[in-house]
Amino acid sequence: MASGIRDKVAILGMGCSKFGERWDCDAEDLIVEAYQEAILDAGIETSQIDAAWFATAIEEVHVGKSGVPLSVALRLPNIPVTRVENFCASGTEAFRGAVYAVASGAADIALAVGVEKLKDTGYGGLPQRGAGPLNDMIRNNGSAPGGFAQLATAYSEKHGVDMETIKKAIGTISVKSHANGAKNPKAHLQKEIPLDTVLKAPMIAAPLGLFDCCGVSDGSAAAIVTTPEIAKSLGKDNRITVKALQLAVSNGVESGHNSWDGSYFLTTRKAAERAYKEAGIEKPRDQISMFECHDCFSITEMVTMEDLYISNEGEAWRDVLDGFYNADGQVPCQIDGGLKCFGHPIGASGLRMLYEMYGQLLGRAGPRQLDNPTFGMTHNLGGQPHQNVSSVAIIGHEGA
């Protein structure tokens, strides 16, 4: 059994651009905006970075392939730069690369940057694109909300929860995220909305309405990581360390074998189980102070609450309606507004989630600051319920 990543790597600095429809920005502008904050926070020079990981998912609509766009944008000193892509979980992949480089001793200080410039496609929602010549012959037509909407019908069938109750619960999730996003100046959407507005919104993919879908945004986020020892030597006394970093990827069972019922994420459960073990967390519902999950759609957030073992299976809708996940609830979820309101520039999202957890742990979250959080968890998912990559990261105070 591997010894795991717990407390081996510390976050030296983080940055995040304003997310939104950044009509005046190219990807380069967004990268520099996030990086400047991160390097300032880290208190180092660019020349001290040994290696970098760069996350973009839909590179064909903005920067193109390879690590070159990051190296050029930041004028990195010819260090190794690796571009990573793993659907919408790409941001966490960049973080994994940087963290593992430090943990292995290959780098003293490593950089992870994620960016996505999505608003140059001419339409709302994610760009639709081919999946390769064979997949294009046999794979269904459908949008992202269409793929995730499947969860609702399967969940309703499995747990006997009627669609009206599900609609109300997932609507309440969006209302909560809008309330949180309203307190976040970097968020794409900063407006509170009433439940009625959510329930009466136009249908995108039944049963998901407009407000059940997250924003598609431009944005970038960055993390600089190092060893706790180097962080200490650089004067960082309140150190936030990585407790767990796990990834689980579908192998075709959900899409091709009838053992999966379509109501949950097989991968998330596996990643969460491994992450809790790696972090030494035994009772996540009691020990996790807060989390950011991949709420690309409200229904995703609802089933993920169960897949992360915070809510019992079949009962997340009840916790949601009870306010358990609200800012003043027991385990606040999406305290920064989540993908729903902070926005979803794909390659940046995993790092954006960590940025919020990091800020909360350091008491920097301003009007949305929570009381003394210990562990912050992020869940960054890519793909569709029946075929996906799911990552879970946990960070906290060193030694916690």
Partner 1 sequence: MVGIKAYGGYVPRRRLPRSVIVEANGWFNAGIKGYSKGERSMCNWDEDALTMAVEACRDCLNQERPDDIKAIYLASTTLPFTDRQNSGVLGTALNLGQNMMTMDITSSQRAATSGLLNALSVVKGAGGSALFATGEHRRSQTATTNEVMYGDGGAALLLSNDDVVAEFVGAGQIAVDFVDHYRGQNADFDYNWEERWIRDEGFMKIVPEAVKAALDNTGLSAGDIDHFAMPGTIRNIAGMVSKACGIAPEAARDNLHNVMGEAGAAHSLVMLVDCLQDAKPGQTIMVIGWGQGCDALIFKTTDKLSTMSNRQGIKGHLAHRKEETNYNKFLAFNGLVQQDGGLRSETDKQTALTTLYRNREMVIGFVGGKCSQCGTVQYPKARICVNPNCGAINTQDDHRMAETSATIQSWTADNLTYAPDPPHHFGMVAFGEGGRMMADFTDVDEGAVAVGDEFRMVFRIKAADEKRNFNKYFWKAAPKVSA
Chain residues that interact with partner 1, rule: CB under 8 A: 121-123, 125, 128-130, 133-134, 136-147, 149-154, 156-157, 202-208, 252-253, 255-259, 261-262, 384, 386
Nearest approach in angstroms of CB 396 to partner 1 is 33
Contact 308, 334 (CB under 8 A): no
Choice among 16, 25, 62, 88 that is catalytic: 88
How many other CB atoms are there within 10 angstroms of residue 292's CB atom? 29
Nearest approach in angstroms of CB 261 to partner 1 is 7
End-to-end CA distance of the chain: 22
Nearer to partner 1, 28 or 254 (CB): 254
Nearer to partner 1, 143 or 369 (CB): 143
Nearest approach in angstroms of CB 168 to partner 1 is 19
Element (H, E) at 113: strand 109-116
Nearest approach in angstroms of CB 246 to partner 1 is 19
Only one residue has tokens 């759609």, namely 297
Choice among 178, 344, 379, 386 that is catalytic: 344
CA 223, 18, 215: angle at the middle one, nearest 5?
Answer: 105
Nearer to partner 1, 150 or 369 (CB): 150
Contact 20, 214 (CB under 8 A): no
Distances (CA, A) of 112 to 25, 49, 57, 82, 228: 20, 10, 14, 10, 17
Given phi > 0 = left and psi -120 to 50 = alpha, else beta, which region is 343? left
Nearer to partner 1, 185 or 252 (CB): 252
Per-residue DSSP letter, 127: P
Contact 54, 69 (CB under 8 A): yes
Nearest approach in angstroms of CB 160 to partner 1 is 12
Helix (H, G, I), strand (E, B) or coil at 360: helix
Contact 173, 295 (CB under 8 A): yes
Only one residue has tokens 């009772």, namely 283
Nearer to partner 1, 80 or 314 (CB): 314
| Nearest Cα to Cα of residue 84 among 60, 113, 49 | 113
Distances (CA, A) of 279 to 12, 83, 237, 294: 20, 27, 21, 20
Whether residue 88 lies in the annotated active site: yes
Contact 20, 216 (CB under 8 A): no
Whether residue 214 lies in the annotated active site: no
| Nearest Cα to Cα of residue 377 among 276, 290, 269 | 290
What CA–CA distance (Å, rounded) separates 14 from 36?
A: 9
The catalytic residues are 88, 344
